[in-house]
Amino acid sequence: MAEPRWLDDREMRAWNGFLAASALVNRRLDQQLKDDAGLSHPQYEILVRLAAAPGRELRMTELANGLINSKSGLTYQVTQMEKAGLVRRRSCPSDVRGVFAVLTDAGSAKLEEAAPGHVATVREILVDVLTPGQLDALADGLGEVGRRLRGEGA
Amino acid sequence: MAEPRWLDDREMRAWNGFLAASALVNRRLDQQLKDDAGLSHPQYEILVRLAAAPGRELRMTELANGLINSKSGLTYQVTQMEKAGLVRRRSCPSDVRGVFAVLTDAGSAKLEEAAPGHVATVREILVDVLTPGQLDALADGLGEVGRRLRGEGA
DNA sequence: GGTCGGCGGTTCGAATTTGAACAACTCCCT
DNA sequence: AGGGAGTTGTTCAAATTCGAACCGCCGACC
Pick the closest to residue B85 from B53, B54, B49, B111 (CA basis).
B111
DSSP string covering B100-124: EEEE-HHHHHHHHHHHHHHHHHHHH
Q: Straight-line distance from CA A77 to C1' C25, in Å?
A: 24
Which of B9, B16, B22 would you mutate first to test chain A, the one with the most A CBs within 10 A?
B22
Residue B93: the pLDDT is 87
Asked if the structure places residue A151 within a domain, the reply is no
Asked if the structure places residue A19 within a domain, the reply is no
Residue B69: the pLDDT is 83
Asked if the structure places residue B22 within a domain, the reply is no
Asked if the structure places residue A115 within a domain, the reply is yes
Q: What is the CATH number of the domain that holds B77?
A: 1.10.10.10
Q: Quick check: A143 and B126 in contact, CB under 8 A?
A: no
Q: What percent of chain B has pLDDT over 70?
A: 95
Cβ separation B14–A130 shorter than 8 A: yes
B52 and A CB contact within 8 Å: no
A137 and B CB contact within 8 Å: yes
CA distance A93 to B141: 48
Asked if the structure places residue A58 within a domain, the reply is yes
Which of A5, A19, A119 would you mutate first to test chain B, the one with the most B CBs within 10 A?
A19
Q: Which of A120, A125, A146 has its CB closest to that of B17? A: A146
How do residues B36-79 score in pLDDT, each as one tens digit? Answer: 999 999 999 999 999 999 999 999 999 998 877 889 999 999 99
Structural domain range at position A70: 29-132
How do residues A8-19 score in pLDDT, each as one tens digit? Answer: 999 999 999 999
Cβ separation A138–B143 shorter than 8 A: no
pLDDT tens for chain A, 154 residues long, are: 556 789 999 999 999 999 999 998 999 999 999 999 999 999 999 999 999 999 999 999 999 988 778 999 999 999 999 999 999 999 988 898 999 999 999 999 999 999 999 999 999 999 999 999 999 999 999 999 988 887 654 3
Asked if the structure places residue B120 within a domain, the reply is yes
Instruction: Tally the domains of chain B.
Output: 1
Asked if the structure places residue A83 within a domain, the reply is yes
Q: Which residue pairs, CB below 8 angstroms and at least 24 apart, start in A119-122?
A: A119/B4, A119/B5, A119/B6, A119/B7, A120/B1, A120/B4, A121/A28, A121/A29, A121/A32, A122/A29, A122/B7, A122/B15
Asked if the structure places residue A44 within a domain, the reply is yes
Closest residue in A to B148 (Cα) is: A125
